[in-house]
Amino acid sequence: MASVTNFNPHGVFLPLFLVLAATATATTRPYPFLPRPRVGYYGSACWNVESIVRSVVQSNYFTNPANAPGILRMHFHDCFVRGCDGSILLDGPDSEKTAIPNQSLRGFNVIEEAKTQLEIACPLTVSCADILALAARDFVVLTGGPWWPVPLGRLDGRVSLASNVDLPEPTDSVAVQKQRFAAKYLNTQDLVVLAAGHTIGTVGCGVFRDRFFNYKNTGSPDPTINPNFVPQIQSQCPLNGNAATRVTLDLGSEGQFDTSYLNNLRFGRGVLESDQFLWNDPETRSIVERLLGLRFPFLPSGPEFARSMSKMSLTEVKTGLDGEIRSVCSAIN
């Protein structure tokens, strides 16, 4: 477990020029009175925004470490539906929260707690979308992952519809995954690097259990799974067990941000079929090998994850008249 002192000074620092390069690919609508997101956006208007969010994240991490993968997943789900605009946080009978893939999300209370404190320190200044982006980074750091400067200045979206939720599926082929990521201006390397965030993730048994018992109605497990891995998962997710029971995606290194998840794919120990495909496909396999230091040129996994996270966090952000600053994250003003 990483200590709280592992933030900026002791984490892996992503150089500002890489953030600016990622920013250049963001899909935002220019607006003359509100610059696109940038590092240090709030300045004196809310000089302690990052320390306030970090303090809330730390207390909630030590109370419940499961908040780390929960918030990271929430940020991903937010960015992949109408961009990184905090729309995942809105309540409503047909909001994004109600979509099946989002019903198991956790950590909404963390974002709301940070928002409450920020409304006291600097009212109607910091967006919920920015809070979520900061919280995702800070939770990653607490699990031993990299630190990176988060560009700020997103606005909160006003639309949140379950019907808009179309997220990557656990059975997606590499070709489908590439299409989904390309639609968000993320390339194949970003796909593999961001999937590596599963190193701290968990998944409900109902999402993948058929793969370990009755793959494609064959009555047998997926033949690409390591035979020694099958009974291990079957014992945690019995055929008639609770579909909501959660299993770590990185057995042997649960809750720690490292390359163990990627290494498991080498040996057929990927829980999700979509993850295992990343090793079976030649193009994505070469990226996994570079992240593991098995193929030249090497890709340092920490800085690469930081770069791709910063890039993703700028997906279709709302600026100018496209959004607002909410006073509470669960409702539009």
| Domain final position from 164, 183, 218 | 164
Query: Does residue 118 sit in the same domain as residue 159?
Result: yes
Does the annotation count 75 as an active-site position? no
Predicted TM-score of the model (pTM): 0.89
* Residue 113 known to bind ligand: no
* Residue 78 known to bind ligand: yes
* Residue 153 known to bind ligand: no
Q: 296 φ, ψ to 5°?
A: -95, 145
pLDDT for the residue numbered 36: 62
Domain extent for 191: 174-313
CATH number for 307: 1.10.420.10
| Residue type (1 letter), 241 | G
Locus of tokens 């390359």: 259
- Cα 168 to Cα 178: distance, rounded to the nearest angstrom: 10
Query: Does residue 106 sit in the same domain as residue 205?
Result: no
pLDDT for the residue numbered 33: 38
Active-site pick, 36, 73, 75, 77:
77
Q: Determine, yes or no, domain membership for 30.
A: no
* Residue 198 known to bind ligand: yes
User: How many domains does the structure of the chain reveal?
Assistant: 2
Query: Does residue 154 sit in the same domain as residue 181?
Result: no
- Least Cα distance to 319 among 29, 63, 58, 13 occurs for 29
Q: What is the mean pLDDT of each run of 10 residues along the chain (333 residues)?
A: 38 43 37 63 96 98 97 98 97 97 97 98 97 98 97 96 97 98 97 97 96 97 97 96 96 92 97 98 97 92 96 93 94 90
Torsion sign across C-alpha atoms 323, 327, 329, 333 = negative
Surface-to-core class of residue 49, CB atoms within 10 Å of its CB (0-12 exposed, 13-18 middle, 19+ buried): buried
Q: For residue range 313-327, list pLDDT tens digits in order.
A: 999 999 888 899 999
pLDDT for the residue numbered 35: 53
Query: Does residue 187 sit in the same domain as residue 299?
Result: yes
| Domain final position from 108, 139, 164 | 164
Q: Determine, yes or no, domain membership for 23.
A: no
| Local structure of 243: helix, strand or coil | coil
Query: Does residue 254 sit in the same domain as residue 159?
Result: no
Query: Does residue 71 sit in the same domain as residue 152?
Result: yes
pLDDT for the residue numbered 296: 87
- Least Cα distance to 84 among 316, 330, 331 occurs for 316
Considering only CA atoms, give the Rg of the chain.
19
pLDDT for the residue numbered 326: 96
pLDDT for the residue numbered 322: 87
Query: Does residue 148 sit in the same domain as residue 261?
Result: no
* Contact (Cβ atoms closer than 8 angstroms) between residue 224 and residue 275: no
| Residue type (1 letter), 11 | G
Q: Determine, yes or no, domain membership for 250.
A: yes
pLDDT for the residue numbered 271: 98
